[in-house]
């Protein structure tokens, strides 16, 4: 009996110790004074060249509790950052927010409009930064948006967008400067919606230059709609999922998608392509031992992949 009780006590103490360690990790970022000083654009990180490098400083890298579900999304003036945390203990995604104030970044906090450990992801700024779109499980699973209200954001509003019969949003989308939307749907293909009088009445399935017999998802459209980045598990890639690009041709059609190559795609999973405001850097996520972290690289290499007409 004493042996059994002793083992029970040991297990209880172990559980308490783990809880203390987890709480210590969480609490170390609950006070701005305890958060490391991060200054300047892009956290003061050295700009990358043509080889991808890990983007976030150590304090913002994936750990035993969470990892990045998407690349960092900066406001047009580079003074705000929204990113998505995938929590491991209670699986779910929530949108977090940081701001550059007096040249120093505030610590990450849940965005005012997010639901913790729910399914909020894919934050996406409008061209002027006054509207922020995101995917949410609310409204039956849809794209929603919030608008600036002084120094805060409005309540989420469901975007008026029509889905094909029997299809659901896959959770990732992108919006061009003209307002046209590119999104993944539940059938594993990418669709396009043209903005008509503030709404999106009809979905157009992208052709075979983009969609294949594999699974295509996580689209990112160039603001001018000159090229489309997306992720696919089609055969012939370098890893589990690879990032591809399709360029729009002069006649408005799309060129056959090409793999971004071994510079970007690895034997692991590479996903969540995104371009910085101003189009200078290319961000994407790569799978590691603790989950996904974002990498960045100079975007010049993308144009080198454009086919000659």
Q: How many residues are recorded in the chain?
A: 309
Residue 150 reports pLDDT greater than 90: no
Q: Name the DSSP letter for residue 3.
A: H
CA distance 95 to 109: 9
Instruction: Give 89-125 pLDDT, tens digit per residue.
Output: 988 999 999 999 999 999 999 999 999 889 999 999 9
Residue 308 reports pLDDT greater than 90: no
Q: State the fold for domain 161-309.
A: Neuraminidase (2.120.10)
pLDDT band at 151 (very low <50, low <70, confident <90, very high): confident
| Percentage of residues of the chain with pLDDT beyond 90 | 82
pLDDT band at 209 (very low <50, low <70, confident <90, very high): very high
**What is the residue-wise DSSP string for 52-108?**
-EE-S-GGGS--SSEEESS--EE-TTS-EEEEEEEETTTTEEEEEEEEEETTEEPPP
Residue 187 reports pLDDT greater than 70: yes
CA distance 216 to 202: 20
Helix (H) or strand (E) holding 292: strand 291-298
pLDDT of residue 12: 43
pTM of the predicted model over 0.85: yes
Domain locations in the chain as residue ranges: 58-159, 161-309
pLDDT of residue 234: 95
Instruction: Give 3-39 pLDDT, tens digit per residue.
Output: 444 554 444 444 333 333 334 333 445 567 778 999 9
Average pLDDT, the chain: 90
Q: CA torsion, points 55, 57, 60, 64, in degrees to nearest 10?
A: 100
Instruction: Give 229-277 pLDDT, tens digit per residue.
Output: 999 999 999 989 999 999 999 999 999 999 999 999 999 999 999 999 9
Q: What is the rounded average pLDDT of the residues 52-81?
A: 97
pLDDT of residue 7: 54
Comparison of pLDDT for 21 and 293, the residue scoring more: 293
Residue 221 reports pLDDT greater than 60: yes
């Amino acid at each position: 009996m004493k042996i059994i009780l002793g083992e029970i006590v040991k297990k209880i103490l172990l559980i308490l110790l783990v809880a203390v360690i987890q709480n210590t990790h969480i609490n170390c970022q609950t006070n701005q004074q305890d958060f490391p000083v991060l200054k300047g654009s892009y956290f003061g990180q050295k700009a990358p060249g043509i080889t991808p490098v890990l983007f976030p400083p150590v304090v913002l890298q994936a750990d035993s509790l969470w990892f990045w579900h998407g690349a960092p999304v900066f406001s047009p003036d580079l003074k705000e950052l929204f990113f998505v945390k995938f929590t491991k203990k209670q699986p779910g995604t929530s949108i977090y927010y940081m701001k550059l104030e007096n040249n120093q970044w505030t610590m990450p906090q849940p965005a005012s409009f997010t639901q913790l450990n729910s399914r909020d992801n894919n934050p996406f700024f409008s061209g002027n930064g006054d509207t922020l779109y995101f995917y949410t499980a609310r409204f039956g699973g849809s794209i929603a948006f919030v608008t600036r209200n002084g120094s805060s954001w409005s309540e989420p509003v469901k975007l008026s967008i029509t889905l094909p019969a029997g299809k659901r949003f896959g959770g990732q989308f992108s919006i061009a400067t003209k307002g046209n939307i590119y999104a993944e749907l539940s059938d594993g293909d990418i669709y396009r919606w043209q903005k008509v009088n503030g709404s999106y009445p009809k979905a157009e399935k992208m052709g075979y230059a983009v969609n294949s017999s594999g699974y295509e998802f996580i689209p990112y459209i160039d603001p001018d709609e000159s090229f489309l980045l997306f992720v696919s598990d089609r055969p012939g890639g370098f890893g589990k999922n690879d990032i591809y690009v399709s360029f729009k041709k002069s006649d408005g059609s799309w060129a056959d998608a090409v793999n971004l190559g071994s510079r970007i795609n690895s034997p692991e999973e590479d996903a969540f392509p995104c371009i910085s405001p101003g189009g200078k850097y290319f961000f994407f996520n790569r799978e590691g031992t603790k989950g996904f972290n974002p990498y960045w690289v100079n975007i010049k290499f993308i144009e080198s992949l454009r086919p000659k007409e």
